[in-house]
Structures are given as structure tokens and as C-alpha cells.
């Protein structure tokens, strides 16, 4: 069976540019739209800090509070895991 496959040279965080993401960091969890990635940090637009996730199988978070800035920068060294947010 033949399938149409989308190919991209981007991988990891770069592949998620333009998507809403969840960053699991050393001390806190952050969510927002990933708008920038470089060697040192990532940039989130309309960021929020997640204090309590609630059940992982539910959409959204039990306690997510917006940070009162339009852009927020997170050091890549602090990110332990990441993914596209629901």
C-alpha cells in the first residue's frame, strides 16, 4: 500500500513551531504557543504556568494561570520533556 507522507527537516521543538505546547521543566510546567526556538531558549506567546495538571486524560489543566506578559522565554536546558498541547 502506498501512502502520502509529509516530510520535514524540522524535528523536536522546531517541528512544533506555531503549535500550542506544554513544556515540562525542572521546576514548573509552561504552556503557550511556540513562536521561537534557538540554541539557548524557546519563546512562548500568550504563556501560562501550570500549577496543577489534573487528570492527564482530560483536555486542559486544573490550575493554569496566565503569565502577565505577551512573550515568555524558557531556557532549553531546563526543559525535560515537551509536546503539543491538547
- pLDDT of 8-30, one tens digit each? 677 889 999 999 999 999 999 99
* pLDDT band (50, 70, 90) for residue 3: low
Coil, strand or helix at 27: coil
What pTM does this model have? 0.85
Cell numbers describing residue 68: 502577565
Q: Looking at domain 14-84, does it have CATH number 2.30.30.100? A: yes
Domain boundaries, the chain: 14-84
Between 56 and 83, the higher pLDDT residue: 83
Q: How far apart, in Å, are the Cα atoms of 57 and each of 53, 78, 80?
A: 10, 25, 20
Percent of the chain with pLDDT over 70: 92
Percent of the chain with pLDDT over 90: 74
Query: Which is it for the CA torsion 50, 55, 25, 46, positive or negative?
Result: negative
Amino acid at each position: 500500500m502506498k501512502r502520502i507522507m509529509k516530510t520535514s527537516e524540522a524535528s523536536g521543538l522546531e517541528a512544533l513551531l506555531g503549535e500550542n505546547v506544554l513544556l515540562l521543566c525542572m521546576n514548573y510546567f509552561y504552556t503557550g504557543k511556540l513562536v521561537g526556538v534557538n540554541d539557548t531558549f524557546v519563546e512562548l506567546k500568550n504563556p501560562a504556568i501550570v500549577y496543577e495538571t489534573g487528570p492527564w486524560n482530560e483536555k486542559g489543566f486544573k490550575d493554569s494561570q496566565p503569565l502577565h506578559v505577551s512573550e515568555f522565554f524558557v531556557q532549553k536546558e531546563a526543559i525535560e520533556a515537551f509536546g503539543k498541547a491538547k
